[in-house]
């Protein structure tokens, strides 16, 4: 049984990380906020732990005023006799609760059964809706209703438990028992019966989902399927893993057309995500709008950067594995063509010179190299490093230029 002093009085979840221990002043502040919110259920005691984020949000004056205004609006609507719907009675919090089980998520849990993630890809919602049709049971109906209400899980910053995700994808399994008795858990009247055939290996499925999340979070790296199997799956499981062939099939099944598996710079089966301009623009136009011009400006800049980086990734996925020739390095046209068109346009609009091709090629290649450091070899970067090595023979000079993003590394220069 959980120790009451180690349970957050606001969210009723265990406080293992990122918490404060309440003193008299802290308890008084939370009780005062509880009274202002007209919520008598939050009654902390001295010495009790509280999540830092929960405490900050619960006692914030702006949040209290916002919640009170919402309560007043709801009260006014009830008094006017407005017809109540299920969605108005209880609006599901996708940013805080797992849409698979309904319970609150603790994103600070990076290991163990309570490990959770935010939705980072548009394809996940499509995959889950497809799995809902395959399951065709009570749990699937509940999840499908949530997803259809949210419409865009990525834009809603939705979260989910990795164990819930694995159980839902494995036909015949139900909500993990550890979440059944927690506040907000879906009440299933009939647990799904196990399907005929070989039972799913939930341990391997869970390890695979962790590996897939790692791949999403480290897309900038040049990761091969062999490395995912031999290093990441072993790390997450302590020994349980797939074969390289089966991992390739599972990744293609999981991400479909969202990934490219190709040979890059002599490495076989390198996995690269193929994000489309359409999905980036979709995220931008569906993101919550604000009245802050500065915030809207920054969102526009982020969308432009994502479009440029997407073109860089698409170009580098088909990069030739050979080093550029001396003719290529000295060719102005070749160096300019190495820079994606969107990045060329961006730099041309920034630079004031009428003829800025050399600067566009130089700065553009530095940006491309920085965006894909382990995947591409920019001609001007390797050319400058080789030239400095021939003239001065100084490793220190090349290391400094490399650290500043202007040259290839000393090791790469020696290899050339």
pLDDT tens-digit map of 341-354: 999 999 999 998 88
Is 137 or 282 the better-scoring residue by pLDDT?
Answer: 137
**Confidence class of residue 238 from pLDDT cuts 50, 70 and 90?**
low
Give the structural domain span for 304.
277-316
Rounded distance, CA 240 to CA 126, Å?
28
pLDDT at 89: 42
Rounded distance, CA 234 to CA 205, Å?
13
**Confidence class of residue 296 from pLDDT cuts 50, 70 and 90?**
confident
Q: What is the mean pLDDT of residues 176-187?
A: 83
Helix (H) or strand (E) holding 116: strand 116-118
Same domain? 195 vs 98: yes
Q: Which two tokens stand for residue 97?
A: 């609760």
Q: Which two tokens stand for residue 109?
A: 């849990």
Distance of CA 355 to the CA centre of its chain: 40
- Grouping H, G, I as helix, E, B as strand and the rest as coil, residue 395 is helix
Q: What is the pTM of this model?
A: 0.47
Helix axes 123-135 and 138-150, enclosed angle (nearest 10): 150
Same domain? 101 vs 186: yes
Whether residue 233 is contained in a domain is answered as: yes
pLDDT at 202: 64
Same domain? 138 vs 190: yes
Asked whether the CA dihedral 283, 210, 261, 411 is positive or negative, the reply is: positive
Rounded distance, CA 279 to CA 287, Å?
12
**Whose structure tokens read 């406080």?**
15
Burial class (CB in 10 A: 0-12, 13-18, 19+), 30: buried
**Whose structure tokens read 């290996």?**
201
Distance of CA 74 to the CA centre of its chain: 34
pLDDT at 310: 83
Whether residue 72 is contained in a domain is answered as: no
Same domain? 193 vs 96: yes
Strand partners, 104: 97
Which of 270, 259, 266 minimizes the C-alpha distance to 228?
Answer: 270
Q: Does the pLDDT of residue 12 top 90, yes or no?
A: no
**Confidence class of residue 232 from pLDDT cuts 50, 70 and 90?**
confident
Same domain? 146 vs 157: yes
Q: What is the pLDDT of residues 68-120, one digit of tens each?
A: 776 665 555 554 444 444 444 457 888 888 999 988 888 776 666 678 888 87
Contact 331, 358 (CB under 8 A): no
- Grouping H, G, I as helix, E, B as strand and the rest as coil, residue 144 is helix
Q: What is the pLDDT of residues 361-383, one digit of tens each?
A: 999 999 999 988 877 889 999 99
Contact 273, 229 (CB under 8 A): no
Q: How many structural domains are present in the chain?
A: 5
Strand partners, 262: 270
Contact 98, 113 (CB under 8 A): no
pLDDT at 346: 93
Same domain? 114 vs 172: yes
Number of continuous H segments (helices) and E segments (strands) in the chain:
20, 7
Whether residue 76 is contained in a domain is answered as: no
Which of 286, 300, 289, 294 minimizes the C-alpha distance to 151?
Answer: 286
Same domain? 125 vs 31: no
Whether residue 399 is contained in a domain is answered as: yes
pLDDT at 336: 92
Same domain? 50 vs 117: no
Q: What is the mean pLDDT of residues 258-274?
A: 70
Q: Does the pLDDT of residue 122 top 50, yes or no?
A: yes
Q: Who contacts 172 (Cβ-Cβ below 8 Å, separation ≥6)?
A: 192, 193, 194, 195, 199, 200
Same domain? 194 vs 212: no
Strand partners, 160: 117
pLDDT at 286: 75
| 214-228, 310-324, 359-373, range with the lowest pLDDT | 310-324
Whether residue 145 is contained in a domain is answered as: yes
**Confidence class of residue 396 from pLDDT cuts 50, 70 and 90?**
very high
Q: Which two tokens stand for residue 86?
A: 């299920």
In percent, how much of the chain has pLDDT > 90?
14
Rounded distance, CA 41 to CA 288, Å?
32
Same domain? 340 vs 304: no
Rounded distance, CA 294 to CA 76, Å?
34
Whether residue 82 is contained in a domain is answered as: no
Same domain? 159 vs 102: yes
Which range of 50-64, 167-181, 306-320, 397-411 scores highest in mean pLDDT? It is 397-411
**Confidence class of residue 360 from pLDDT cuts 50, 70 and 90?**
very high
Whether residue 66 is contained in a domain is answered as: no
Whether residue 410 is contained in a domain is answered as: yes
Same domain? 196 vs 207: no
Rounded distance, CA 9 to CA 42, Å?
6
Distance of CA 333 to the CA centre of its chain: 38
Rounded distance, CA 409 to CA 388, Å?
12
Is 221 or 295 the better-scoring residue by pLDDT?
Answer: 295
């Amino acid at each position: 049984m959980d120790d009451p002093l180690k349970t957050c009085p606001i969210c009723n979840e265990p406080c293992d990380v990122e918490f404060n221990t309440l003193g008299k002043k802290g308890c008084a502040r939370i009780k005062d906020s509880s009274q202002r919110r007209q919520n008598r259920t939050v009654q902390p005691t001295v010495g009790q732990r509280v999540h830092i984020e929960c405490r900050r949000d619960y006692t914030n004056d702006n949040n209290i005023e916002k919640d009170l205004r919402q309560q007043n609006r709801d009260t006014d609507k009830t008094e006017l006799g407005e017809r109540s719907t299920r969605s108005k009675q209880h609006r599901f919090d996708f940013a805080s609760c797992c849409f698979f089980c309904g319970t609150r998520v603790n994103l600070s849990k990076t290991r163990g059964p309570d490990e959770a993630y935010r939705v980072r890809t548009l394809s996940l919602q499509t995959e889950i809706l497809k799995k809902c049709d395959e399951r065709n049971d009570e749990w699937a109906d509940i999840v499908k209703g949530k997803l259809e209400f949210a419409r865009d899980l990525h834009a809603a910053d939705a979260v989910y438990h990795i164990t819930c995700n694995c159980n839902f994808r494995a036909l015949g399994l139900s909500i993990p028992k550890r979440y059944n008795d927690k506040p907000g858990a879906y009440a299933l009247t009939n647990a799904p019966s196990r399907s005929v055939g070989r039972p799913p290996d939930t341990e391997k499925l869970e390890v695979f989902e962790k590996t897939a999340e790692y791949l999403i979070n480290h897309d900038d790296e040049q990761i091969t399927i062999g490395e995912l199997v031999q290093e990441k799956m072993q790390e997450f499981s302590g020994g349980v893993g797939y074969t390289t062939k089966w991992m390739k099939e599972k990744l293609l099944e999981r991400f479909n057309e969202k990934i490219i598996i190709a040979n890059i710079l002599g490495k076989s089966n390198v996995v690269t995500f193929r994000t489309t301009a359409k999905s980036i623009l979709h995220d931008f136009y569906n993101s919550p709008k604000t009245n802050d011009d500065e915030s809207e400006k920054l969102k526009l800049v982020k969308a432009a950067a994502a479009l440029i980086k997407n073109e860089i990734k698409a170009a580098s996925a088909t990069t030739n594995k050979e080093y550029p020739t001396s003719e290529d390095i000295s060719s102005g046209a070749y160096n300019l063509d190495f820079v994606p068109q969107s990045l060329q346009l961006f730099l041309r609009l920034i630079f004031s010179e009428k003829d800025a091709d050399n600067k566009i090629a130089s700065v553009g290649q530095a940006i491309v190299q920085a965006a894909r450091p382990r995947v591409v070899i920019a001609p001007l970067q390797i050319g400058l490093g080789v030239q400095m090595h021939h003239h001065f023979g100084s490793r220190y000079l090349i290391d400094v230029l490399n650290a500043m993003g202007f040259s290839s590394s000393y090791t790469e220069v020696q290899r050339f």
